[in-house]
Amino acid sequence: MKTMRESFLHYLWRTRRFDMLDLQTTLHQSVQILHPGEYNTHSGPDFFNARLSIDGTLWAGNVEMHLYASEWLGHQHDKDPAYDSVILHVVLKEDLPVFRPDGSRIPCLELEHRIPEPLLHRYVQLESAQTWIPCQSSFADAPEIIKNQWLDRVLIERMEEKTKTVQHLLDHTGHHWEEVLYQTIARNFGLKINMDPFEMLARTLPIKLLARHRQQPHQLEALIFGQAGFLDAPFLDPYPQLLIREYHHLSHKYQLNPLRKEQWKFFRLRPSSFPTIRLAQFSALIQQTDHLLATLLECNSPSEMKALFKVTPANYWADHFQFDTPSIQQEKSLSKEFIDLLLINAVAPFLFFYGQHKGIDRPQDQAFMLLESLPPETNSMVKIWKTMGCTCSNAFQTQALIHLKTRYCDHRRCLDCAIGNALLK
């Protein structure tokens, strides 16, 4: 069956949603499932430590599954010792017998005629659907309680996925939590388009180094713009000339090698999002927030956290978007929308991981409260979810829906999804 995948057999075995009456192998040996085993999503047999009775003999071992028995050879399991302990081969159809290295035949259970027709029909509908998500036509039929519980679960999955980057930073900074927070925020200051150069910049300018110059804003900004590669040309304005002099001294003192200015992208960005403006805002954040980690952990409300990011860059930037290029005077403080993105993508995952790693609940509670307090994201994906009747009243919900779409629906993981399972019943 072209629309069936092996994962459907895994689902049937896990849930035992097939005809269990008079189970027999293809050699007419009786089969009794005492325990289906532990589902394995890594290499090796599909289920570990199953307990079965085959023709009255108790067996403990592993279970492997394929749509067709011949896939055992196609996957070269006959040459892999990890499969020598398989006690049952579960297939849709046995098109050839399979043997162990000692020559004994592995018992085979066929499911082709044991799958309930309504269940198979619903599964085929999901697998063959060409809609935005496989269950789009029946999504509304799933019970609300299941949807809500599942969205809570996938939000945690999303947080855990995002914290992999935080874990990587922790490992590479010698467990320097302040540095980890600083680099996490720096990455997200560039959003998608300038994330990489912001990350490289933060690595070359540790927070300990910048903290030494927090009381000298010109030196702090000189370090940031100089390391970013934006002080490599002569300027007419006195302000960038001052920064060049400061950076010349500091780069020699700390033996710094700057990034190339070409690594930063301006194309298709609004002037308010130019890298130069983001760097000026980043400099202001570092200058105006001392011991950010401790301050964040002491916050008693999301509004207190948001207030930490309400910073304004140096006066020069009030009427400039780039050096030596005057513009109409305009407020250059971090916008509410940008602060929300930083809180969603940097602060909340960091707090979640910090609490998880330290074994304390408060930072994780802070992360969830923060997401629940932030407005829903406005993007094309969220708009479609809304048309399907989903509640999108805060960032907690939209983050969960984004994860559901990108990690489940787009990969047709309906059988791993509680909503998909509910629709199959």
User: Could you give the number of structural domains in the chain?
Assistant: 2
Mean pLDDT of the chain: 96
301 and 185 within one domain: yes
232 and 86 within one domain: no
Does some domain include residue 164? Answer: no
pLDDT score of 125: 94
The Cβ of residue 264 has, within 10 Å, a number of other Cβ atoms equal to 23
322 and 208 within one domain: yes
Does some domain include residue 277? Answer: yes
pLDDT score of 2: 64
214 and 76 within one domain: no
Does some domain include residue 83? Answer: yes
Confidence class for position 3, pLDDT limits 50, 70, 90: confident
Confidence class for position 218, pLDDT limits 50, 70, 90: very high
306 and 213 within one domain: yes
Whether the predicted pLDDT of 113 surpasses 90: yes
Q: Which of 83, 98, 115 is the last residue of a domain?
A: 115
Q: What percentage of the chain carries pLDDT values higher than 70?
A: 100
Question: Which residues, at least 6 apart from 394, have a Cβ–Cβ distance to it below 8 Å?
Answer: 371, 372, 373, 374, 375, 376
pLDDT score of 264: 97
86 and 187 within one domain: no
pTM for the predicted model, two decimal places: 0.88
Q: What is the mean predicted confidence (pLDDT) over 154-177?
A: 96
Phi, psi of 314 (to 5 degrees): -55, 150
pLDDT tens sequence across 284-321? 999 999 899 999 999 999 999 999 999 999 999 999 99
Does some domain include residue 159? Answer: no
330 and 212 within one domain: yes
Euclidean distance between CA atoms 44 and 62, whole angstroms: 9
74 and 211 within one domain: no
Q: Which of 348, 379, 395 is the last residue of a domain?
A: 348
240 and 109 within one domain: no
Does some domain include residue 183? Answer: yes
Range of the domain at 97: 6-115
pLDDT score of 287: 96
pLDDT tens sequence across 45-101? 999 999 999 999 999 999 999 999 999 999 999 999 999 999 999 999 999 999 999
Q: Which of 348, 373, 401 is the last residue of a domain?
A: 348
Does some domain include residue 355? Answer: no
pLDDT score of 1: 60
210 and 338 within one domain: yes
287 and 182 within one domain: yes
208 and 62 within one domain: no
Whether the predicted pLDDT of 30 surpasses 70: yes
Does some domain include residue 341? Answer: yes
Does some domain include residue 318? Answer: yes
